[in-house]
Chains A and B, each alone.
Chain A
Amino acid sequence: MITVETFNTHREASSALNDRTRFLAGGTLLMRDVNYAVPGIEHIVRSLEPLRTIRSEGGSVFIGAAATMLDVINARETAFLAPVARAVGGPAIRNMATVGGNLFAPSPFGDFTTALLALDATIHFADGRHEEIETFLAQRDSGRRIVTAISVVPPLSGSFLFSKISRTKPKGPAILSIAVRLPSGGQEARVAFGAMGPTPLRAKAAEAALSRTRIDEQGIAPVIAVATEGLAPADDALASQWYRRQVAPVHLKRLLLGGQR
């Protein structure tokens, strides 16, 4: 039998976390596991704290962990992330799925987190601490902390690119997703892939190549050549790891060239 415990704040809820406990946010990941009786879930913890606010402060945008994809689409402050949020599920899922929950989505889900990784987001926890997203993702599955907010510095206009590749139209899980921040105005190049590893991963060789080139077919050739270095895609029902490795450079090229082949 699975028990559910409800707390007034995330901080209180975080004190109840242990190896057999899961935190319920929007429910789009956890409730499906509950319905299918996935082993290992004995106790669910939830919080009534309404952490859905999206606000700008000191050059960053703070997104409450309980903000939904629909909240992101509707907020002026997160207009640069709206195309990413629209790529997540259908309208009902977007009305439920939270930004905080997406951070914990197993591959091939987690498109929004892929974008946050390319934007060097910072993850804020209920205990008051914060961490860079890459560090957070590296130890995501062993941590027992509740996320309260994500902060991100908005990219300069035209420097952020995102693409989700799916077999199902108009919506379906990703074969892979790609988020790129082009180097400009002091912001470094970032290339992040979703569904190309157990968590979204940065393609650091591609980033290094991207930081010293121009964006045209010839210029990006070195970027494409090293696109999948360091990535670790898996086989699943959507695609084999071999297929993912073959198509990832093609889709990165299309994204960088704005849809041109």
Chain B
Amino acid sequence: MARKPISFTLNGNEVSVFVGESANLMEELRRNVGDLTPKHGCGQGTCGACTVMVDGEPQLSCITLAQSVEGRSIETVAGLSQGPVLHALQQAFIDGFAAQCGFCTPGMLMAAKALLDRNPRPSRDEVIEAISGNICRCTGYEPIVDAILIASGQSREVRR
């Protein structure tokens, strides 16, 4: 398969790689760049496990043409923590048992980060809307919603 050279920023670091011509971003991040945090769930943009941020907005990496991110800024869960210090969202997920099997967690975290970046004090309904494109088959969602509210500095009892 023909490969195409592209450069982009991944969690603040410049990355230059050759990508498959019709390959999606998730495949290239996992197999080529070595960032295993975007998960391969459905491969059709339905489950949200591959959610990353592109130029500050959430995007599904499994249905993003890899070569289309030339020159853009990609954020994944691998860039959330500062060394040993976890991001507030990661810590809240751990404290609130918001991850069980953990497969959806990277996507949930990036969807939640996209929300808190633009709306630091969301309502419960706004949190639910923000993760409405992310499927979890373990938790029943409530611990995840609670964790996102707590990471925003609010009580889990926050208004709807």
Contacts and interface: CB of A to CB of B under 8 A. Distances in A.
Interface of A: 1-4, 6, 24, 27-28, 31-32, 34-36, 44, 46, 70, 89-93, 95-96, 170-171
A87 to B, nearest CB: 11
B129 A92 contact: no
A35 B2 CA distance: 17
A92 B24 contact: no
A1 B60 contact: no
A3 B133 CA distance: 30
Contacts of A35: 24, 43-44, 62-63
25 contacts: A1-B2, A2-B22, A3-B21, A4-B4, A24-B65, A27-B63, A27-B68, A35-B24, A35-B62, A36-B43, A46-B65, A70-B57, A90-B48, A90-B131, A90-B132, A91-B114, A91-B115, A91-B129, A91-B130, A92-B51, A93-B133, A95-B57, A96-B64, A171-B132, A171-B133
A89 B2 CA distance: 33
**Range of interface residues on B (Cβ < 8 Å):** 20 to 34
A3 B21 CA distance: 6
A91 B130 CA distance: 6
A84 to B, nearest CB: 16
Nearest to A94: B133
Given A44-B22, A171-B133, A93 B45 contact: yes
B116 interface: no
A91 B44 contact: no
A96 B63 contact: yes
Most buried by B among A31, A32, A92: A92
Nearest to B67: A4
A70 B51 CA distance: 16
Given A91-B130, A95-B58, 20 more contacts: A2-B21, A4-B65, A27-B64, A27-B65, A32-B45, A32-B63, A34-B24, A35-B63, A44-B22, A44-B65, A46-B65, A89-B133, A91-B58, A91-B133, A92-B51, A92-B58, A92-B111, A92-B133, A95-B57, A96-B45
Given A90-B131, A91-B129, A3 B65 contact: no
Contact of A4 (B21, B48, B51, B131): B21
Most buried by A among B1, B4, B57, B111: B57
B80 interface: no
A90 B22 contact: no
Contact of A96 (B24, B48, B60, B131): B60
A36 B114 CA distance: 28
Contact of A92 (B21, B59, B67, B68): B59
Given A3-B21, A3-B22, A92 B65 contact: no
Nearest to A96: B59
B50 to A, nearest CB: 9
A104 to B, nearest CB: 15
Contacts of B128: 170
Nearest to B128: A170
B22 A34 contact: yes
A2 B20 CA distance: 10
Contacts of B4: 4
B123 to A, nearest CB: 14
Given A70-B57, A96-B63, A170 B132 contact: yes
A46 B48 CA distance: 24
